[in-house]
């Protein structure tokens, strides 16, 4: 059981009883979103084998040539790097809206795809023209190694960690009914890629244990005001609809949790506290009907013992319960909630969420197949393996993987081409997101900085809160507030210095 290292919940007022100066967004329900994806790689069709490490290293040759490192930040504000275990990893710029996050995530696919195609050319020169590089946006390889798609949400600091565990975890675990990417296993079809590979529920520890949710003490923001919620339990999704809904629904649930803590009342979510989150997660993953009952905790706080007093509920019931509470909160204060997302229509999200639950309850896989990754896979596999034919298990596993191959996959592009998969973002908008950072977060400054520095051949480095110029001039900009798109005076000054030194060169 990992130690919970947490620097403590910071109360609503400063310790001397006076309110500390707050970010303008501290009192609103606005959110910062980010998606980090670890990709898997492989090569097939060559005259000899090339392992993942070499494929990934080849992909990153252009990155190293430009940045002198396998870790770099891009002109759209994203971070691109080569992870431990040879996973190309892409972390999107900070965004204020799930639709922006989706666009930035798709931009990541585009960047990675381009690197892979370049690598494929190099590799073909060595091992023959039939070699193919595969880059999998999924969560498990063929040997059972697991890797992740992690979501980041900026959460107000006054929400205690135990509250997040109790109140958010049941939602995250049952969310797989629609966000699960699906997985072919030797014991049947599962909803979630990751369910069999997670250890603890909540942890502040980092690499060893694999928790479902993590809070980081480096929130990349003022730690007095915010904490960074790092959700590890999610699958890597190809469905744009799911990526969007995953973020939007989690945001709404977090909003209710935050406003309840602020108001000093129960959210109602504690009624869903699970007795054994890990067990529940696995059980739910094995049932596409969402009906398997999971045990609720014995002690679930006052006033909610009435909800399933027998102490168990299904994933569908738990999701519906969350939706109902969120809808009530939105109805009570519509302007306040809709104001938290600049581009997304909250009532539409609720209606879409309800429709998903209704279709899952009806087991209408065909209707869900244009939105949910697991349903799209399931339906395709049914079509192949139905009518008394049984599908070869290797073929099923191959198609499962192919679905996630963003470079040479055939299944997902065919589904899109035939109008069988919903697409929310145009190719043009993806192209824009590759090129430009979000305009309404500090990523705007980071992106511009990188663009300018690259253009002038300057030496620079970044992390999430800092821009550092080292050659031809020194400069540093600190950006503590992710909501602040600037430009700050420090930022203007550093750019001016850069421009001046370049014109003197």
Q: Which residue ranges make up the site for other proteins (CB under 8 A)?
A: 38, 40-44, 49, 51-52, 83-87, 89, 134, 136, 141-143, 145-148, 184, 186, 189, 206-207, 362-367, 369, 378-386, 390-399, 401-402, 410-411, 414-415, 417-420
Is residue 449 within 8 Å of 491, Cβ to Cβ?
A: yes
The tokens describing 475, both together, are 């400069």
In terms of Cβ atoms closer than 10 Å to its own Cβ (0-12, 13-18, 19+), residue 388 is: exposed
Nearer Cβ to other proteins (145/328): 145
Known catalytic residues? Answer: 83
Beta bridge partners of 33: 95, 153
Is residue 66 within 8 Å of 400, Cβ to Cβ?
A: no
Nearer Cβ to other proteins (293/384): 384
Integer Cα distance of 463 and 306 in angstroms: 49
Integer Cα distance of 288 and 356 in angstroms: 13
| β pairing state of 88-91 and 79-82 | antiparallel
Three-class SS state of 43: strand
Is residue 356 within 8 Å of 368, Cβ to Cβ?
A: yes
Integer Cα distance of 493 and 178 in angstroms: 47
Nearer Cβ to other proteins (3/394): 394
Nearer Cβ to other proteins (144/489): 144
Nearer Cβ to other proteins (26/147): 147
Residue 65 C-beta: closest distance to other proteins, Å: 24
Nearer Cβ to other proteins (11/420): 420
Of 51, 44, 48, the closest CA to residue 134 belongs to 44
Strand (E) or helix (H) holding 236: none
Integer Cα distance of 438 and 450 in angstroms: 14
Beta bridge partners of 153: 33, 229
């Amino acid at each position: 059981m990992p130690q919970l290292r947490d620097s403590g919940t910071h109360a609503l007022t400063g310790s001397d009883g006076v309110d500390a100066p707050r970010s303008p967004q501290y009192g609103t329900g606005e959110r910062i979103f980010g998606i980090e994806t670890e990709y898997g790689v492989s090569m097939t069709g060559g005259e000899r084998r090339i392992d993942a490490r070499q494929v990934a290293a080849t992909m990153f040759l252009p990155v190293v040539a430009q940045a002198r490192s396998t870790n770099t930040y891009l002109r759209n504000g994203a971070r691109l790097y080569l992870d431990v275990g040879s996973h190309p990893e892409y972390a999107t710029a900070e965004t204020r809206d799930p639709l922006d996050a989706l666009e930035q995530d798709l931009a990541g696919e585009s960047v990675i795809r381009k690197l892979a195609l370049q690598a494929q050319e190099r590799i073909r020169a060595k091992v023959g023209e039939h070699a193919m590089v595969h880059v999998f946006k999924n969560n498990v390889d063929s040997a059972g190694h697991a890797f992740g798609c992690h979501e980041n949400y900026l959460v107000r600091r006054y929400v205690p960690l135990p509250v997040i565990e109790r109140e958010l975890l049941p939602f995250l675990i049952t969310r797989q009914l629609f966000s699960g990417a699906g997985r072919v296993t030797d014991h049947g079809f599962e909803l979630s890629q990751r369910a069999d590979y997670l250890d603890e529920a909540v942890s502040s520890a980092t690499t060893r244990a694999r928790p479902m949710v993590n809070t980081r003490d480096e929130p990349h923001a003022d730690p007095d005001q915010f904490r960074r919620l790092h959700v590890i339990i999610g699958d890597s999704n190809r469905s744009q609809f799911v990526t969007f809904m995953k973020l939007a629904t989690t945001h709404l649930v977090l909003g209710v949790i935050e406003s309840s803590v602020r108001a000093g009342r129960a959210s109602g979510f504690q009624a869903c506290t699970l007795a054994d989150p890990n067990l529940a997660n696995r059980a739910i993953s094995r049932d596409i009907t969402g009906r398997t009952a999971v045990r609720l905790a014995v002690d679930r706080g006052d006033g909610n013992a009435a909800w399933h007093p027998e102490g168990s509920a299904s994933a569908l019931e738990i999701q519906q319960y969350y939706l109902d509470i969120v809808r009530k909160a939105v109805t009570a204060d519509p302007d306040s909630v809709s104001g938290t997302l600049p581009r997304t229509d909250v009532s539409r999200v609720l209606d879409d969420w309800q429709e998903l639950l209704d279709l899952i309850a009806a087991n209408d896989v065909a209707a869900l197949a244009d939105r949910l990754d697991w349903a799209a896979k399931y339906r395709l596999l049914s079509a192949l393996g139905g009518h008394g034919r049984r599908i070869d298990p290797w073929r099923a596993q191959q198609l499962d993987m192919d679905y996630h191959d963003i470079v040479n996959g055939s299944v997902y592009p065919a589904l899109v081409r035939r109008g069988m998969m919903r697409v929310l973002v145009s190719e043009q908008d993806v192209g824009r997101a590759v090129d430009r950072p979000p305009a309404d977060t500090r990523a705007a400054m980071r992106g511009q900085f990188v663009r300018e520095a690259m253009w002038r051949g300057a030496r620079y480095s970044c992390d999430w809160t800092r821009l550092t110029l080292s050659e031809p001039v020194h400069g540093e900009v600190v950006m503590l507030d992710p909501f602040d798109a600037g430009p700050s005076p420090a930022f203007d000054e550093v750019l001016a210095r850069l421009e001046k030194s370049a014109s003197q060169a």
